[in-house]
Amino acid sequence: MKPIVPKKHEPIRIGFYICHCGTNIAGMVDVEAVAKYIGTLPNVAVSRHYKYMCSDPGQELIQQDIRETHLNRIVVAACSPQLHEHTFRMATAAGGLNPYHFQMVNVREHDSWVHTDRVEATRKAMALARAAVMRVPHHKPLEVKKVAINPNVLIVGGGIGGIHAALTLANAGKMVYLVEKEPTIGGHMAKFDKTFPTLDCAMCVLSPKMAAVGSHPNIHLWTYSEVAKVDGYVGNFKVSVRRKERYILEDLCTGCQECVNACVFKEPKFQDEFNLGLGKRKPIYLPFPQAIPPVTLIDPEVCLNFKRGRNPDGSHTVSDKCKKTCVEACGDRKAIDFKQQEEIKEITVGTIIMATGFQIFDAKRTPYYGYGIYPNVYNALEIERLINASGPTEGELVMRNGQSPKKVAIVHCVGSRDENTNRWCSRVCCLYSLKLAHLIKEHTEAEVYNFYIDMRTPGKSMEEFYNRVAEEGMHLIRGRVADVYPDPNDGTTGRLVVQAEDTLTNKILKIPVDMVVLSVGLEPHPEAENLRRMFNLSCSSEGWFLERHPKLAPVNTFTDGIFLAGCCQGPKDIPDTVAQAGAAAAEALALIDKGHIEQEPNTAYILAEECSGCKSCIPLCPYTAIAFDETKKKAIINEALCKGCGTCVASCPSGSIVQNLFEDAEIFSEIDGVLAD
Amino acid sequence: MANTIQPPLPDGKWKPRIVAFFCNWCTYTAADLAGVSRMKHAANVRIIRLMCSGRVDPQFIIAALTKGADAVLIGGCHPNDCHYSEGNYKCLRRNQMLKRMLADMGIEPERVRLEWISAAEGEKVKRVINELVETISRLGPLGIPQKFEEWDREMSELTRQMSKQQEAVDGGETPVAVKTEVIHV
Amino acid sequence: MIAPFEPAVVDKATTLETLLETPAGKRMMTCIQCGTCAGTCPYGEHMDFSPRLVINMLRGGFIDEVIKSDSLLRCVSCYACMAKCPRGIRLTDVLLPMVKEQVLVTQSAMPAEFQKSLENMHRYGNPMGESPRKRAAWTATAGTKIPLIAEVNREVDVLWFVDSYMSFYARGQDNGRATARLFNALGVDFAILGNEEKSAGECGQVTWESGLFESLAEYNVKLFNKYKFQRLVTGDAHAYNAFHFRYPMYGLTQPAEHTAQFFARHLDQLKPRLTRPLNLTVTYHDACCLGRAVGSYDEPRALLQAIPGVKLVEMVHNRVNSLCCGGGGGGMWLDTYYKQKGMERLSERRVKEAIATGADVLAVSCPYEISRFEDALKVIPHDKPIVVRDVAELLADSLAS
Ligand SMILES: Cc1cc2nc3c(=O)[nH]c(=O)nc-3n(C[C@H](O)[C@H](O)[C@H](O)COP(=O)(O)OP(=O)(O)OC[C@H]3O[C@@H](n4cnc5c(N)ncnc54)[C@H](O)[C@@H]3O)c2cc1C
Ligand code: SF4
Ligand code: SF4
Ligand code: FES
């Protein structure tokens, strides 16, 4: 349908609609009174209230009015424009008007939901609606801006979330850059032995996916790498990635590990990060057998061929003091390069998926559990490694003193649900505690005590899993552990007493155990704040990346073209992480397959006749979109570069810059409108 | 146009009226979040959405105050978090200058408040609005439109008196109208 | 780390009936019944109504049953439950004292020793029943002039609140003399209230008798207002607790400091004067009112480590997880009662941990602890000698004579 462009001097005819939103709005705002009042204002031709404006009949109502009563401006008072501005613009367009001849009024989030006095709330709704009614006559017909989208995708973080998203996109034929900070992908899941609720082996399901990522023709896998800089916008992000030096040439290394065997260090003697320091490795090593890429790396802090310590720029100096038996072993493959330097790669992508995961809570922050003080206190991730067949003890659950525990206490909610540390429930700890209880029993036949506050087992098959583990004969004690200390009746074995109230029997328990397992919570990755800045995202007050809408846009962010997957958005289990990763990939695909993005036509332009050529706007633009025409002595804005912030508009001394959708006249009438009572 | 509209719900008592300019990305969204989280707060603030706090033209603030607002609240992203890099910084600098100007005009500095509120800080929206309403309730009405009316009345009285005097002096010659300066905003 | 408590979240007019309406009470509505409070309470196993249960009874409208029981007479106001509560509920200084007060009103007979101490406090301004006219008598033995604020007749920098234990107990006076020496060594402009001073009354508040506390607080604040001084400093951790949390509600405007905090703040000036090596292994006991209540764990330790020759070792329970000496919340005068009930003396539990460290000295920062731990050491067997000293005493020992 051809848009109806109001002819010059055609009288303004506004259609006003206020939504009840069931009782969400109508419960606090007298919608009938608002509609009646707005109906008395100049230019208003139709004023209605309706139960659900966003419903099909609601939208149809607008279209019908446009056709039948020749409206040329539409105002809808309903929820936040963040939710339904688009819907109503489309309805306006479907009625035959330019979609920008529309204005939305937020009377739900900003009014009915936050006020308690019906008279006040109604009065405010009238003021806000009046402002829109006074603003909308100034609206000009505008056209949606279309920008082509680059089909490549950047994924940051190679845990199960990043892996799943990468494979989904790559299988759909898109080029993916997967950037992982660690030398291998896999994230936390690669450290687990079994996973709840099915108790299937973690690596059995994960390693095929990891291998697929490693060999996929559409995936550029950059491990041991970090994003250094992000510029640009949806459709066209320019990203710099820092590839740290691992002193091994990835293309040449075959993953045979002959170098590791040949290293002058006969025995592994350095703390092994992958096993959380519970095992040892050599200066040249593969993080773990199934690491992807299967490429070793050298730790210059301990390798004899390097001088100790870093240079001020962070690099290391080769000393050439070592016999380099590793190089010998590598032979013709020539994969070892002590002179390798960090490299910066520049890429352009259209969309980005953040999948940077979480970190576990540092149990030293609850000092009364003795973590870091008593050797027999472990965190849950350490236990995952200790019962893992490929872990440092080859799956035998033994303590630091070499003995196998006979009594084990598992302490839930460490660093969760606690005002003194983290306030949120970490959502997976109850379930993984049950899993660990089962596994510990299976491995050692130890007596296991689970101390919990509330047993939280939401999700499919989870309660059944709880039931199954409970049947195996755990001690399930409802009470938060208050104190862990060495058993005063014990000399040297390191036995500990776990003290708690059993809140169901009102008894104070002091249970001597050999081993204490702290079910540490999940918290935002320490780099999240940095990443947030770099990618221009928002974080919740806890530090998780903030989704655009908690229910309706759970994988979108406030930055168009950037999506979230997995625990970087909040604690969740593997099934939810994978589901979210799939959703994020689908959102990216939806953008890519459309081929272009539609941008708000809220760019600014300069009225050449009025520009005095003072140039004060030029340095203000963060996108250098303003140039100066030396012959005409006028500033000009490059529309393609303008992002529509309006900063130049606000500071032009001669008032000669206009921002579409936010023209001065529009805002002044809005100010008049909110104050006209 | 303003005077063609009757106040819809005159209830006699004065209550502060505050105009807020919130940036689309952080503070407006935070106000939405306050809504979704049902954080109840005072109903005196009327929010106008802009893309960035950098779009807040000092004239908007003056316009709001002269049209009857008792205070203006500007909300933007935290430093370094502006969706457009540094619009908030520009806003801050402009605000600084404006503050000096307002002081010269005898307007209390509390009446123009600038706050950085991120999209996650619904709680802060509530707090800031409640605080501001409380402060302004204490300060009382700004009443610039009324002052304008008063000034206009004084002016015309002055004019009348002057022309009377003039008449007396010139003995009936047409007086020269005293030009009143009208502030256009 | 545990966040320091903010002063005053309920006003002084709050009662058990109105408590749930206050901000502190609203927090109580968030209790998740995790039992951390009961589990950590040093006497938790002897309470029919643990702090957790008290909250639930209050919320459910059954608080009368709690008041009928004497459970809460066992609370020694050690702040352990409050410091670890995951919901930040003000147990030790809001809920429990309110319940305890009601318990007292309903109990037909109070433990005699306890009753006597409260009466003494009321009549003489000190729990021992000593003559108030002898309060400043100890200064004669101080070896240096201790100025009285009434006599100096001008504004002083530091008003030193000595309080009863340091005024009347021989071992407390040792601490007083040491503090005076340290003040002089630092050239501090200080004065004391002398005989005019009355007990700060902390135990009255945190334990049982808000009426008694109020009369003492009002008396002392009136006294403070009579004179001019910059800050209030006290070596009594309980007095400090009252000044920090409660006295501002009664009109105290000057900042209050514990001597450990004060000396730690002046450590740069003090350190060069600590020249005599002591060659001792020292373990430090965190006073509840200084440690958990306000988070001053580091200051006393910094002072001890500044003494040449001192080796600091930690007990199993330290800092936020410290074990109470059992003297707080009236426990000071309930030892006989606890014994009758078959409860272990907490000071004995504590010195066992101190002995286990092998230290020569158990260092403290509260005058209650000196006598409690010295008594406990008399009954707990130990091979290696161990003595109890206040941090101030050790510092003074290290001053060049
Ligand atoms: C002890 C424990 C046991 C658990 N057991 C189970 C279970 O049995 N079943 C279950 O369903 N769930 C379990 N979970 C939860 C499970 O770990 C998570 O759901 C899952 O790991 C989330 O995956 P992710 O990809 O979002 O994050 P992660 O696994 O944390 O992966 C994130 C990846 O991003 C990388 N990264 C971080 N920052 C950057 C950066 N700046 N640049 C580049 N890369 C970066 C990290 O190195 C990491 O590889 C358990 C959790 C814990 C703590
Ligand atoms: S520790 Fe706190 S939350 Fe837990 S039961 Fe006690 S009062 Fe309630
Ligand atoms: S303050 Fe100490 S003694 Fe009193 S209830 Fe709490 S933990 Fe127990
Ligand atoms: S905190 Fe609830 S599952 Fe761990």
Q: At what angle do helices C51-60 and C96-106 cross, to 10 degrees?
A: 80
- How many structural domains compose chain C? 3
Q: What CATH number is given to the structural domain containing C392?
A: 3.40.50
- Mean pLDDT to the nearest integer, C32-46: 97
Q: Within a domain: residue C2?
A: no
State the closest ligand 3 atom to the C-alpha of C44, by its place in the atom list counted from 1. 8
By C-alpha distance, the chain C residue nearest A453 is C34
Q: At what angle do helices A462-471 and A429-444 cross, to 10 degrees?
A: 30
d(CA A283, CA A304): 8
Q: Which of these three, A458, A492, A523, is where a domain ends?
A: A523
Residues with CB under 6 A from ligand 2: C 31-37, 51-52, 55, 85-87, 89, 91
**Alpha carbon C33 to its chain's center:** 28
In this prediction, residue A602 carries a pLDDT of: 94
d(CA C34, CA C84): 11
For chain A, the residue count is 677
In this prediction, residue A409 carries a pLDDT of: 98
Q: How far is the CA of A187 from the centre of ligand 2 (A)?
A: 35
d(CA A281, CA A268): 4
pLDDT in tens, C305-334: 999 999 999 999 999 999 999 998 889 999
Task: Check whether residue C116 and residue C259 sit in a common domain.
Answer: yes
Task: Check whether residue C102 and residue C176 sit in a common domain.
Answer: no
Task: Check whether residue C121 and residue C257 sit in a common domain.
Answer: yes
* Per-residue pLDDT band at A145 (split at 50, 70, 90): confident
Question: Both ends of chain C: CA-CA distance in Å?
Answer: 40
Whether A495 lines ligand 4, by a CB cut-off of 6 Å, is: no
Taking alpha carbons only, the member of A4, A223, A2, A226 closest to residue A101 is A4
CB pairs under 8 A between A and B: 167
| Three-state secondary-structure class, residue A408 | strand
Q: Within a domain: residue A508?
A: yes
State the closest ligand 2 atom to the C-alpha of C81, by its place in the atom list counted from 1. 1
Per-residue pLDDT at C5 exceeds 60: no
A394: CB partners within 8 A, 6+ apart = none
* Per-residue pLDDT band at B171 (split at 50, 70, 90): low
Number of the ligand closest to the Cα of A424: 4
| Three-state secondary-structure class, residue C399 | strand
- Mean pLDDT to the nearest integer, B90-98: 91
d(CA A159, CA C268): 51
**In which domain, by residue range, is A35 found?**
14-144
Contacts of C35 in chain A (CB under 8 A): 478-480, 482, 500-503
pLDDT in tens, A172-223: 999 999 999 999 999 999 999 999 999 999 999 999 999 999 999 999 999 9
What single letter denotes the amino acid at residue C334? L
Task: Determine the residue of C36, C56, C94, C99 to mutate for testing ligand 2's pocket, defined as the one with the most ligand atoms within 8 A of the Cβ atom.
Answer: C36
Q: In A264-351, where does DSSP find H-type helix? A: 325-330
In this prediction, residue C141 carries a pLDDT of: 92
Taking alpha carbons only, the member of A282, A323, C265, A674 closest to residue B8 is A674
Task: Determine the residue of A178, A189, A205, A568 to mutate for testing ligand 1's pocket, defined as the one with the most ligand atoms within 8 A of the Cβ atom.
Answer: A189
Nearest Cα residue to atom 4 of ligand 4:
A429
Asked if C35's CB is within 8 angstroms of A482's CB, the reply is yes
- Mean pLDDT to the nearest integer, C375-400: 96
The secondary structure element, H or E, covering residue C158 is strand C156-161
For residue A200, give both structure tokens.
């299937």
Task: Check whether residue A518 and residue A608 sit in a common domain.
Answer: no
Report the percent of chain A where pLDDT is more than 70: 99
Please name the residue that has the structure tokens 């490929």.
A390
The secondary structure element, H or E, covering residue C66 is helix C63-68
In this prediction, residue A7 carries a pLDDT of: 60
In this prediction, residue C107 carries a pLDDT of: 80
State the closest ligand 4 atom to the C-alpha of A431, by its place in the atom list counted from 1. 3
Nearest Cα residue to atom 2 of ligand 4:
A425
For residue A151, give both structure tokens.
């089909």
Contacts of A365 in chain C (CB under 8 A): 1
What single letter denotes the amino acid at residue C30? T
Task: Check whether residue A405 and residue A504 sit in a common domain.
Answer: yes
Asked if A677's CB is within 8 angstroms of B7's CB, the reply is yes
Task: Check whether residue C258 and residue C118 sit in a common domain.
Answer: yes
Residues with CB under 6 A from ligand 3: C 40-43, 51, 75-81, 91-92, 96
| Min Cα separation A431/chain C (Å) | 18
Q: Which of C1, C44, C319 comes nearest A501 by C-beta?
A: C44
How many CA atoms lie less than 13 Å away from A141 in the CB half-sphere? 13
Taking alpha carbons only, the member of A74, A64, A84, A66 closest to residue A21 is A84
Q: Which of these three, C236, C265, C294, is where a domain ends?
A: C265
Q: How far is the CA of C40 from the centre of ligand 2 (A)?
A: 11
Task: Check whether residue C119 and residue C254 sit in a common domain.
Answer: yes
- Mean pLDDT to the nearest integer, A462-481: 96
How many CA atoms lie less than 13 Å away from A310 in the CB half-sphere? 5
For chain C, the residue count is 401
Task: Check whether residue C260 and residue C282 sit in a common domain.
Answer: no
Beta bridge partners of C27: none
Contacts of B25 in chain A (CB under 8 A): 558
d(CA A478, CA A452): 5
Per-residue pLDDT at C348 exceeds 60: yes
By C-alpha distance, the chain A residue nearest B121 is A541
Q: Within a domain: residue A300?
A: no
| Min Cα separation C187/chain A (Å) | 39
Task: Check whether residue C289 and residue C211 sit in a common domain.
Answer: no
d(CA A434, CA A430): 6
For residue C329, give both structure tokens.
């919340």
Q: What CATH number is given to the structural domain containing A630?
A: 3.30.70.20
The secondary structure element, H or E, covering residue A142 is none
Q: How far is the CA of A390 from the centre of ligand 4 (A)?
A: 27
In this prediction, residue C364 carries a pLDDT of: 98
How much is the pTM? 0.84
Q: Within a domain: residue C13?
A: no
Q: Which of these three, A119, A144, A169, is where a domain ends?
A: A144
In this prediction, residue B169 carries a pLDDT of: 60
Task: Check whether residue C116 and residue C250 sit in a common domain.
Answer: yes
Per-residue pLDDT at A454 exceeds 90: yes
d(CA A538, CA A559): 9
Hey, how many other C-beta atoms are within 10 angstroms of the C-beta on A105?
A: 28
By C-alpha distance, the chain C residue nearest A418 is C86
Task: Check whether residue A516 and residue A622 sit in a common domain.
Answer: no
Per-residue pLDDT at A271 exceeds 70: yes
Q: Within a domain: residue C8?
A: no
d(CA B154, CA C296): 66
Q: Within a domain: residue A8?
A: no
Task: Check whether residue C237 and residue C145 sit in a common domain.
Answer: yes
* Per-residue pLDDT band at A598 (split at 50, 70, 90): confident
Q: Within a domain: residue A208?
A: no
Q: Within a domain: residue A84?
A: yes
Task: Check whether residue C119 and residue C255 sit in a common domain.
Answer: yes
Per-residue pLDDT at A8 exceeds 80: no
Per-residue pLDDT at A527 exceeds 80: yes
Number of the ligand closest to the Cα of C325: 3
Task: Check whether residue A380 and residue A512 sit in a common domain.
Answer: yes
Asked if A506's CB is within 8 angstroms of C39's CB, the reply is no
Phi, psi dihedrals of residue A603, rounded to the nearest 5°: -75, 165
Per-residue pLDDT at C28 exceeds 60: yes
Taking alpha carbons only, the member of A365, A219, A355 closest to residue C86 is A365
Task: Determine the residue of C66, C75, C84, C87 to mutate for testing ligand 2's pocket, defined as the one with the most ligand atoms within 8 A of the Cβ atom.
Answer: C87
Task: Check whether residue A504 and residue A614 sit in a common domain.
Answer: no
Q: Which of these three, C238, C265, C292, is where a domain ends?
A: C265
Q: Which of C35, C48, C85 comes nearest A479 by C-beta?
A: C35
Beta bridge partners of A351: A153
Asked if B50's CB is within 8 angstroms of A646's CB, the reply is yes
Q: How far is the CA of C194 from the centre of ligand 2 (A)?
A: 43
Whether A456 lines ligand 4, by a CB cut-off of 6 Å, is: yes
What single letter denotes the amino acid at residue C109? A
Task: Check whether residue A510 and residue A630 sit in a common domain.
Answer: no
For residue A196, give both structure tokens.
């709840």
Phi, psi dihedrals of residue A593, rounded to the nearest 5°: -70, -25
Tell whether B62 is within 8 A of chain A (Cβ).
Answer: no
The secondary structure element, H or E, covering residue C170 is helix C170-186
In this prediction, residue A155 carries a pLDDT of: 98
Per-residue pLDDT at B180 exceeds 60: no
Q: Given the DSSP bridges, would you call strands C280-284 and C310-313 parallel, antiparallel or unpaired?
A: parallel
Mean pLDDT of chain A: 95
**CB distance C239 to C202 below 8 Å:** yes
Q: Within a domain: residue C305?
A: yes
Report the percent of chain C where pLDDT is more than 70: 96
What single letter denotes the amino acid at residue C297? Y
In this prediction, residue C203 carries a pLDDT of: 61
Beta bridge partners of A239: A230, A347
* Distinct helix (H) and strand (E) counts, chain C: 20, 8
State the closest ligand 3 atom to the C-alpha of C41, by its place in the atom list counted from 1. 7
Q: How far is the CA of A457 from the centre of ligand 4 (A)?
A: 9
Q: Which of these three, A144, A164, A185, is where a domain ends?
A: A144
**In which domain, by residue range, is C224 found?**
112-265
In this prediction, residue A668 carries a pLDDT of: 96
* Per-residue pLDDT band at C208 (split at 50, 70, 90): low
Asked if B1's CB is within 8 angstroms of A546's CB, the reply is no
Number of the ligand closest to the Cα of C94: 3
Q: Which of C2, C36, C88 comes nearest A482 by C-beta?
A: C36
More reliable by pLDDT, A7 or C209 = C209
Q: Within a domain: residue A635?
A: yes
Q: Within a domain: residue C392?
A: yes
Task: Check whether residue A378 and residue A470 sit in a common domain.
Answer: yes
* Per-residue pLDDT band at B174 (split at 50, 70, 90): very low
For residue A208, give both structure tokens.
């095929």
pLDDT in tens, A559-593: 899 999 999 999 999 999 999 999 999 999 999 99
d(CA C285, CA C376): 14
| Min Cα separation A606/chain C (Å) | 55
Task: Determine the residue of A358, A361, A412 to mutate for testing ligand 4's pocket, defined as the one with the most ligand atoms within 8 A of the Cβ atom.
Answer: A412
Tell whether C116 is within 8 A of chain A (Cβ).
Answer: no
Per-residue pLDDT at A675 exceeds 50: yes
Q: Within a domain: residue A633?
A: yes
d(CA C132, CA B18): 61
Which of A77-86, A288-297, A561-570, B165-174 shows the lowest mean pLDDT across its residues? Answer: B165-174
- Mean pLDDT to the nearest integer, B20-31: 96
- Mean pLDDT to the nearest integer, C254-263: 97
Nearest Cα residue to atom 1 of ligand 3:
C77
Hey, how many other C-beta atoms are within 10 angstroms of the C-beta on A286?
A: 23
d(CA C121, CA C200): 10
A/B Cβ contact: 3+ pairs below 8 Å: yes
Domains and CATH numbers, chain B: 16-142 (3.40.50), 143-185 (no CATH)
Identify the sign of the CA torsion A239, A243, A249, A251: negative
Tell me: cis bond preceding A293? Omega within 30 of 0 counts. Answer: yes
Q: How far is the CA of A417 from the centre of ligand 1 (A)?
A: 20
Tell whether C53 is within 8 A of chain A (Cβ).
Answer: yes
d(CA A227, CA A237): 12
d(CA A410, CA A476): 10
* Per-residue pLDDT band at C144 (split at 50, 70, 90): confident
In this prediction, residue B132 carries a pLDDT of: 97
By C-alpha distance, the chain B residue nearest A43 is B1
Q: How far is the CA of A357 from the centre of ligand 1 (A)?
A: 5
In this prediction, residue B167 carries a pLDDT of: 65
d(CA A660, CA A646): 9
Nearest Cα residue to atom 2 of ligand 3:
C78
Q: Within a domain: residue C10?
A: no
Q: Within a domain: residue A69?
A: yes
Q: Which of these three, C265, C299, C326, is where a domain ends?
A: C265
| Min Cα separation A95/chain B (Å) | 26
**CB distance C83 to C2 below 8 Å:** yes
In this prediction, residue C177 carries a pLDDT of: 96
Task: Check whether residue A373 and residue A511 sit in a common domain.
Answer: yes
Report the percent of chain A where pLDDT is more than 90: 91
Task: Check whether residue C158 and residue C251 sit in a common domain.
Answer: yes
| Three-state secondary-structure class, residue C183 | helix
Q: Which of A368, A413, A508 comes nearest C320 by C-beta?
A: A368
Please name the residue that has the structure tokens 């040329």.
A72
- How many structural domains compose chain A? 3
Q: Within a domain: residue C7?
A: no
For residue A444, give both structure tokens.
């050692």
* Per-residue pLDDT band at B183 (split at 50, 70, 90): very low
> Which one of C30, C32, C36 makes the best mutation probe of the A interface by having the most chain A beta carbons within 10 Å?
C36
Q: Within a domain: residue C386?
A: yes
Number of the ligand closest to the Cα of C41: 3
**CB distance C331 to C76 below 8 Å:** yes
Task: Check whether residue C128 and residue C271 sit in a common domain.
Answer: no
d(CA C297, CA C259): 13
Q: In C73-159, where does DSSP find H-type helix? A: 80-84, 96-106, 112-124, 149-152
d(CA A217, CA A213): 9
Asked if B54's CB is within 8 angstroms of A671's CB, the reply is no
| Three-state secondary-structure class, residue A568 | helix
- Mean pLDDT to the nearest integer, A226-232: 93
ipTM computed for the complex: 0.93
Q: What angle do CA A418, A421, A427 make, to 5 degrees?
A: 60
